[in-house]
């Protein structure tokens, strides 16, 4: 009789949470080997506070780039698996907001949105995976639009260019190769000024992110 994956998963999750320090150390070593261009950071730093929109699959390279920089926050779901990610991010110097600004079983939506607005008011850059935490891939959800509309701060679309391995996951999660150069593409800022026009802003953000796929830096 085989093991039930659902029965094993809580124990595996608990083990991974306990291993967050070794995982962090591995990511630190990977980060140390990578090469970055700070032109992206210089640009967004001049225009803070702001929201950073990225795809879930490109989360890791941007996380490594932003580690230990000042006043940088991100959003992690309240799902139990998010506990692993949150602990690692905190060790990498991020302010972590738990919850989701979108609807869903584990959303914590209103609380997360209030925290995001407060962080923006305190001068933070807040990164949000627009298609996370479970997809569909590359489809923008409304959470980041609400954050922009309430805070009156811009959304900066961001894409990543780096040589790496795409995992066989729904988001084709990108793991950069050691010693690779990470290039960050920064799109035009989007200001959400009309709540009734969310579908238009969503389409605009999706098109901007997709158009940056082959953008030369």
Q: What's the token pair of residue 26?
A: 């591995």
At 37 the pLDDT is 85
At 4 the pLDDT is 46
For the chain, which residues make up each domain, given as ranges? 5-174+182-211
At 110 the pLDDT is 82
**CA–CA dist 121, 150 (Å, integer):** 11
At 105 the pLDDT is 43
% of the chain with per-residue pLDDT over 70: 83
Instruction: Report mean pLDDT in 10-residue bins for the chain, 217 residues.
Output: 46 46 85 91 91 95 93 86 83 90 57 93 96 88 94 96 92 94 93 95 96 64
Q: Which fold has domain 5-174+182-211?
A: Cobalt-precorrin-4 Transmethylase; domain 1 (3.40.1010)
The gap from C-alpha 201 to its chain's centroid, in whole angstroms, comes to: 19
At 15 the pLDDT is 45
Tell me the whole-structure pTM to 2 decimals. 0.85
At 106 the pLDDT is 46
Angle at 45 between CA 150 and CA 31, to 5 degrees: 110
At 208 the pLDDT is 95
What number of H helices and E strands is found in the chain? 8, 9
């Amino acid at each position: 009789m085989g093991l039930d994956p659902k029965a094993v998963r809580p124990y595996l999750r608990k083990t991974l949470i306990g291993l967050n320090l070794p995982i962090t150390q591995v990511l630190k070593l990977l980060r140390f080997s990578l090469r970055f261009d700070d032109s992206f950071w210089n640009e967004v730093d001049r225009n803070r506070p702001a929201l950073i929109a990225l795809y879930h699959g490109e989360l890791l390279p941007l996380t490594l780039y932003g580690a230990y920089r000042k006043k940088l926050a991100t959003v992690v779901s309240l799902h139990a698996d998010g506990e692993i990610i949150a602990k690692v991010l905190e060790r990498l110097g991020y302010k972590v907001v738990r919850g989701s600004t979108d609807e869903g079983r584990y959303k914590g939506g209103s609380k997360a949105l209030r925290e995001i607005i407060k962080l923006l008011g305190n001068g933070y850059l807040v990164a949000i995976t627009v298609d996370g935490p479970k997809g569909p891939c590359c489809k923008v959800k409304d959470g980041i639009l609400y954050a922009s509309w309430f805070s009156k701060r811009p959304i900066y679309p961001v894409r990543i260019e780096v040589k790496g391995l795409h995992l066989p996951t729904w988001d084709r999660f990108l793991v950069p190769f050691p010693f690779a150069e990470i290039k960050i593409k920064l799109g035009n800022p989007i200001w959400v000024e009309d709540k009734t026009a969310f579908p238009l802003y969503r389409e605009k953000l999706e098109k901007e992110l997709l158009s940056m796929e082959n953008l030369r830096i």
